Amino acid sequence: MENRAVYPGFFDPITNGHVDIILRGLKIFDRIVVAVLKNPKKKPLFSTKERVAMIRTIFAHQSEIEVKAFDGLLVDFSRRNGAKIVIRGLRAVSDFEYEFQMALMNRKLDSEIETLFMMPSLNYSFLSSGLVKEVFLLGGCVEDLVPEIVEKKLREKLKKGRFIFSN
Ligand code: PNS
């Protein structure tokens, strides 16, 4: 039986920290389903379609990685996709409280589903999508913080003057 996990997130946009976690996850799982939240509370810079498309481009040559948009409960999505493990990245102690709450709530909703925390490379432990957008908008270099396609799409947004975002 294929050993698969779900890696959920907002991914607005995906960063090298997320990519690092996905690649680490592949050392443990045969397949990872990257689950892109469709309707977050905050307004995204990139549409669901754009967020999914960027991630698909990054992993175009890795058939073990699937990218899907989802709404509703994560546990329902995981069950529908045959995954009993949810992977979450932990960057720093500050992530812990939110992640702890989410993991226990998901366990309450479905006791069959476990959350697996993984630490990204130290190089990315300060990195977040919100910071990437802020640094980029203020003229900073994000070259080694996001995949090439993301940098390109950020530049396009800036050119179109669509760079309004919430953190
Ligand atoms: O990238 P993020 O914002 O840390 O991802 C958060 C995400 C998408 C994992 C979380 O908001 C989520 O699972 N949303 C789906 C709705 C849900 O299942 N809520 C109950 C879980 S506590």
Q: What pLDDT, in 10s, does the model give residues 55-114?
A: 999 999 999 999 999 999 999 999 999 999 999 999 988 899 999 999 999 999 999 999
Q: Out of 4, 31, 51, 91, which one is annotated catalytic?
A: 91
Active site residue 153: no
Which residue has 């959920």 as its token pair? 8
* Cα separation, 111 vs 84, whole angstroms: 10
Instruction: Report in angstroms the alpha-carbon separations of 17 from 34, 69, 130.
Output: 14, 20, 13
Single pTM value for the model: 0.95
In this structure, which long-range contacts are made by residues 110-113, counting pairs with CB atoms below 8 Å and at least 24 apart in sequence? 110/75, 110/78, 110/79, 112/79, 112/84, 113/75, 113/78, 113/79, 113/84, 113/85, 113/86
Distance CA 75, CA 95 (A): 20
* CB of 102 sitting under 6 A from ligand 1: yes
Catalytic residue among 129, 133, 153, 157: 129
Residue among 22, 35, 23, 31 nearest 2 (CA): 31
Distance from Cα 40 to the centre of ligand 1, integer Å: 8
Looking up tokens 């812990």 gives: 96
- For residue 156, report the distance from its CA to the centre of ligand 1, in Å: 28
Q: What integer is the mean pLDDT of 113-133?
A: 96
Rounded mean pLDDT, 27-54:
93
User: How many CB atoms sit inside 10 A of residue 16's CB?
Assistant: 20
